[in-house]
Amino acid sequence: MEPDAQIPPAASCRSMAEVRAAIDRLDRALVALLAERQGYIEAAARIKGARGEVYDAARVEEVVAKVLSEAARLGLSPEIAEPVWRTLVERSIAHEFAAYDSLRKGA
């Protein structure tokens, strides 16, 4: 993500307006990334051959472990990273089940 010329890095912020502008910019970027991620969830629903393949407990733990490793590398608190990603994965699985069912409803 490219830094905005008018928004300083967090350590250089001197006002709440700067902090809020930066958070708003990051939220827009996160929404775009989550929308892109959702597209891949929908592709998985299309590709998987059986409904039972939608939930994979081992894959959930693999994703969370990778996220926690990256969070540690970048200084993101695991108390933020883990519950956020577990919720993201849980909701993504629910979305994938719905997409899977919707794709096969007419089949």
Instruction: List the chain residues with pLDDT less than 50.
Output: none
Residue 1 has a pLDDT of 53
Q: Is residue 4 a part of any domain in this protein?
A: no
The predicted structure's pLDDT at residue 6: 76
Cβ atoms within 10 Å, residue 11: 5
pLDDT confidence of residue 3: 57
| Range(s) of the domain holding residue 94 | 10-105
pLDDT for the residue 96: 98
Rounded-to-integer distance, Cα 82 and Cα 73, Å: 14
Supply the pLDDT for residue 70. Answer: 98
Number of domains in the chain: 1
What distance in Å separates the CA atoms of residue 12 and residue 107, rounded to the nearest whole number?
A: 56
CATH number at residue 68: 1.20.59.10
At residue 69, the pLDDT reads 98
Task: Kindly give the interhelix angle for 78-105 and 16-47, rounded to the nearest 10 degrees.
Answer: 40
pLDDT in the model for residue 68: 98
